[in-house]
Structure 1
Amino acid sequence: MSFSKLGLRAELLSAVTAQRYPSPTPIQARAIPIILKGRDVLAGAQTGTGKTAAFTLPMLQLLSNDSVGAFNGRSPRALVLAPTRELAAQVESAIVTYGKHLRLRSTAIFGGVGINPQKSALQRGIDIVVATPGRLLDLVGQRSIDLSAIKILVLDEADRMLDMGFIHDIRKVLGFLPKHRQNLLFSATYTRDIKRLADSLLNKPAMVEVERHTVAAQTVNQCAYRVDKSAKRDLLIQLITEGRWHQVLVFTRTKHGANRLAEQLVRRGIDATAIHGNKSQAARTRALSGFKKGSLRVLVATDIAARGLDIDRLPHVVNYELPNVPEDYVHRIGRTGRAGEEGEAVSLVGADEVRLLKDIQRLLRKEIPLQPLPELASQPTDNVGKSECTTRKWRSPSRKRPANGSTPRRESHRGKAAGFA
């Protein structure tokens, strides 16, 4: 199927063509026609499936078709709620990209930065507001924004917003919205809380879902190393330096762990920084800018901080610590191997994380190949730049490895992370 078959207007098709996206992803092909009909939608889609375009493209078209209320000061017509500053900025950037041929205005509103520039943007007239709940309520309280004209409401990564404790803020925001509007709820998981929110928010919604357990696994070369916790740092450094890895996204469970690992990498001569909720917005923006440009080699992140990151040419994701929730593993490795391009995800598994790995494999319905630990000495030169992700099956600690050893290595693919966010 092509984008031209989805009912999008010529201006949007031109913007999509300029991005060189060959065809819509499954979530886009299913959601866009339904949203264009004005129906409420409950969509199950993970990061990397193209969900951002799945709601921004039809939203732009619906607003363009209805010019009533455009640029009328403090009354936007569409509202997108997002859990993090990074995701809000990413969604607004997508709106600008896809709507460049349309007479629509948008802005992103989030905390951690000055509020006055955001007030000024609203005063100039805005059609679409992308916001985190807290800062939006601040502006509502200061009467800097009027939500009474909202016609389309989008909750992006609703499950993450609930995980972060935003349910009360979300319900406060809903109280300022008109009763009659179109509601779009996007969530990676269907928890009891999500179902409860959907029941209270959506009116006879269309259900749209893409296969949950295979989204990232099909495009990402995955492997794992069984390694003592005390040796993880040295193994990570060896993989980065001897593999000549650049643009490596490393995940830890905690903010403190992210800070400590980044500092240790810097002391070993690897450019690295940590990104998490305690960092100022300015520091986060600098880190992301350097990482995207390639001047920063390693970005160490927590799960919440990394949600919504949209990074081109991201060849490597490393799980320095496995997540406690299996779905978060899929979110993590979904940062690479996007829109059909291949990426590489490496997990460092300690003895206390074997159970977590089994839970992840159960979710994926596949085994993650286990790699033998490399020797501490430098590897032969013909291994430099080669992928360590091969087809060796994961074995529990009680099972012995074959005595003869290794399997052929496969070159790492570093394709551009093309496609929609």
Structure 2
Amino acid sequence: MLFKKLIEPLKETLAHKGFQEPLPLQKKILSKIKGGASMFVIAPKGSGKTTSIILSVIQKLKEAVADAPRALIFVENKQAALDLETEFYAYRQQTDLRVYCAYDEKNIDDQRDEIYMGTDIVIATPKRLNKIFFLNGINLNELQMCIVDDAQFLLGKSSFSDVVRTPESIGKCQYLIFSEKFDKRFESWQDTFMANSLYIKQ
């Protein structure tokens, strides 16, 4: 998917930032993501993985709808969540899409109430997302995209099992795993909720 095929607000933002054409990785994956494919994207830092997430989510959701989130993005910690939120705001300025961060350091009751008020995109640490879910504080029934940004943070930590629990609670969804390396534990995902997923490596 070339930039000219993006919705107008994204094209204008990219032009303002001086981006004339997709990076090599983005040329490989953006059209596949738009087509609904689940995939593992393995590429080094600086290859455009995070920007691909932002472009793909905004392109798919386009505008605010109802109250339940339609995209969920897992990140490692509070700082990663806030950094990604800042990046999203830079790209979604001409849309009404709502972005919310859920991380461990914030009062969970406040987070539950704020999510209930309505959001389109939730950026969350795995542990906090699961706590909110088990408090009936988030509706995952409308999810269209479930994404892990920089998934290498999951390896060797309890966060891995926290992420695995999420697909057990949602229906049909597009899964996108972005990482600098592929781990054998990801293979179990290919046998369950990521069956028929694509593997893209740069």
Aligned to 2:194: 202
By how many angstroms is 1:107 displaced? 0.6
Q: Following TM superposition, by how much is the alpha carbon of 1:193 offset from its aligned partner in structure 2, in angstroms?
A: 1.2
- TM-score by structure 2 length? 0.90
Residue 83 of structure 1, CA deviation: 1.9
Shift of 1:100: 1.3
State how far apart, in whole Å, the 1-side matches of 2:70 and 2:121 are.
6
What stretches of structure 1 of length at least 5 have no aligned partner?
Answer: 211-421
Equivalent position to 2:36, from 9, 13, 38: 38
1: distance between equivalents of 2:178 and 2:121? 18
* 1:150 CA drift (Å): 0.8
Q: Distance in 1 between matches of 2:121 and 2:77?
A: 17
1:138 to 131, 134, 137: 131
Larger Rg: 1
Which ranges in structure 2 are unaligned for 5 or more consecutive residues? none
Matches within 5 A, 1:61-76: 61-64=59-62, 70-72=65-67, 75-76=68-69
Q: Which has the higher contact order (CA 8 A, sep 6+)?
A: 2
**Matches of residues 335-350 of structure 1 in structure 2 within 5 Å?**
none
Instruction: Map residues 1-400 of structure 1 onto 2, 5 A cutoff.
Output: 3-4=3-4, 7-64=5-62, 70-72=65-67, 75-178=68-171, 180-210=172-202
Maintained 8 Å contact 1:40/1:183: yes
Computed over aligned residues only, the root mean square deviation of the Cα atoms, in angstroms, reads 2.0
In the TM superposition, what is the alpha-carbon distance from 1:172 to its structure 2 partner? 1.8
Once the two structures are superposed, residues 173-196 of structure 1 have per-residue CA deviations (whole angstroms, 9 ceiling, x without a partner) of 222222x11111112111211223
Give 1 or 2: higher helix fraction: 2
Looking at structure 2, the residues matched to 92 and 79 of structure 1 have their Cα atoms a distance apart, in angstroms, of 12
What is the alpha-carbon distance in structure 1 between the residues aligned to residue 103 and residue 24 of structure 2? 30
Measure, in 2, the Cα distance between the counterparts of 1:126 and 1:207: 30
The answer as to whether partners of 1:78 and 1:127 remain within 8 angstroms in 2 is yes
Give the Cα–Cα distance (whole angstroms) in 2 for the partners of residues 86 and 22 of structure 1: 29
Please give the alpha-carbon distance, in whole angstroms, between the structure 2 residues aligned to 1:92 and 1:119.
18
Deviation of 1:123 after TM superposition, in Å, equals 2.4
AA aligned opposite 2:81: A
Equivalent residue of 1:200, what SS? coil
CA drift at 1:85: 1.9
% identical aligned pairs: 24
